[in-house]
Structure 1
Amino acid sequence: MSRTSLVQRLRCLADDLECVGKHDDAPSSAVAINTWALAQRSVPCLIGRTLGHPSVGDGRPALSSELFYFDPERGIARTMSRWYRLGTRVDPDYWTERLAGRS
């Protein structure tokens, strides 16, 4: 990613985080994520089945980009890439078992 692209993405992230609380919900463009759990790569992220994601088919498992804002009370999260509307939460073991091929 170019420096200019990174700056634009971070600026968009900062603008979105500044607006948290000024609106009741995530924007209508937010991607829905169900059967989600907090996961970790080298940074915190979400893992779950998305709905309305621009490049992941509906219901397919996805690992998000870095998680910057997480508010389960409001049902929203903001990663480097986009907003998510949080659906059903699952225990992280749900995904550990599925990714290991046990279910």
Structure 2
Amino acid sequence: MAVVTNCGGLDALQEQLIGLLNDIREIREQKAPSAADLKAIPLLDQWSLGLVSAPCIVGTAVGHPNLGNRARIHTTQMVLMDWESGWARTWSRYYRLGAPERPPTGSGSFVTPVGEWPVSAPSSGAQECLLCN
């Protein structure tokens, strides 16, 4: 099994998620970033809220725990996928992969970079992961 993420591999993804979980835990414990912490992190000036496109899976749901059987759904953001083993992991759950809508191009197991889903396997040129930066 060769699973790749947009974050550079499972180790990098795990490190990012552990960091996020630790931050959430601290906020729940009323330990939000201090004034000193805030001075040490990057400034985002002239900011506004926006939306980003994120890869997800669109397909026919069979036996979904919340949606049941539906002709067409889209998942939460896809995090990991292994076509050869027949599974994908989104932010909310694992999915078994049945037959693709159209045959995949490329080969191997992968999560495609943002902007290339679902057309082709990732090229050797790395793209930045919005989650990891």
For normalisation by structure 1, the TM-score amounts to 0.47
Query: Greater share of helix residues, 1 or 2?
Result: 1
Q: Which has the larger radius of gyration?
A: 2
The answer to which structure has the higher strand fraction is 1
Return the TM-score normalized by structure 2.
Answer: 0.37
